[in-house]
Amino acid sequence: MSNPRIIAPSVANGFGAVGEVWRRLIRLAFRKPLGAFGLVLVCLQLLAAGLAPVIAPYDPYEQYYDRIMVRPNLEHLFGTDNFGRDLFSRVMWGAQISIKVGVAAVSIGTLLGSILGLISGYMGGKLDMISQRIMDGWMAFPGIILALAIVAVLGPGEINVMVAIGLSQVPPANRVIRGAVLAEKSNLYIEAARAISSSELRIMFRHILPNVMAPIIVVATIALGQAILSEAALSFLGVGVQPPNPAWGSMLSGHSRTYMLVAPWMAIFPGLAIFLTVMGWNLLGDALRDIWDPRLRTGA
């Protein structure tokens, strides 16, 4: 009779692979504790954004006029605002707005910056010189000032904020990817691809692009924290996501400042959400950069 405790080789190999992944993750957490902490913060924000309809005990737009500026308690964990709206529910739903705006803005900025950096770095010559002088002028404007100028032209609103923040993040992504392409195109496999008459587009997108994906991911991760902070800043200034949408920046503005001394929780919890989220993405991005940068890895 066969022993029921004997596990099939394929299943055993599967368990072994999963166990190896967990061991590597644990070793990585010990090597990069700040990166692991950042990953935990990022996962908490993603869970809050994804499970907001389940976690949030109240409608974030519902006003309870008999519960205006109630202190944090078991019924309202973060208290209520001056309209009687539950702050815990609004912070949870605000995570959705932050993730949505941040991911869209980073996608615009990273995609456009990476394509321009790839073409500029690979082609070189006058095209590279002209494009980089344009990027120099683009980078002369601070990101938040450039985003403010774009929103002033397009008008406030969620879509316009995505576009404004995304365009402000093009130059940094362009510079990083261009540098990686310049280092990559000098390798021998590029010469081999040219020797077999591969087209320029094939060399750029089939050979070089996959080998510069690591810096692209790092740039996007760090830029996501900056995009969330920029969205909060624009909403705080009144030109971002408009009330009554539960954006963290707009929750910090207006009435939160008016009632700061009377109801400090109206500003503390949205501000804490912004702080932890941006810190989480920055720590995770720094850890990924340290892991994938060979110079930092060998020096560790």
Backbone dihedral angles phi then psi of residue 86, each to the nearest 5 degrees: -70, 120
277/83 Cα distance (integer angstroms): 26
Instruction: Supply the mean pLDDT for the chain.
Output: 84
Looking from the CA of 47 toward its CB, the CA atoms found within 13 Å total: 7
pLDDT score recorded for residue 270:
92
Q: Output the pTM of the full model.
A: 0.81
pLDDT at 244: 85
Q: Cα-flanking dihedrals φ and ψ of residue 80, to 5°?
A: -125, 165
Residue in this structure with the two tokens 């500003």, named with its chain if needed: 267
Residues of the chain under the 50 pLDDT cut: 1-2, 4-15, 296, 298-300
Structural domains of the chain, with CATH: 98-299 (1.10.3720.10)
Structure confidence at residue 129 (pLDDT):
92
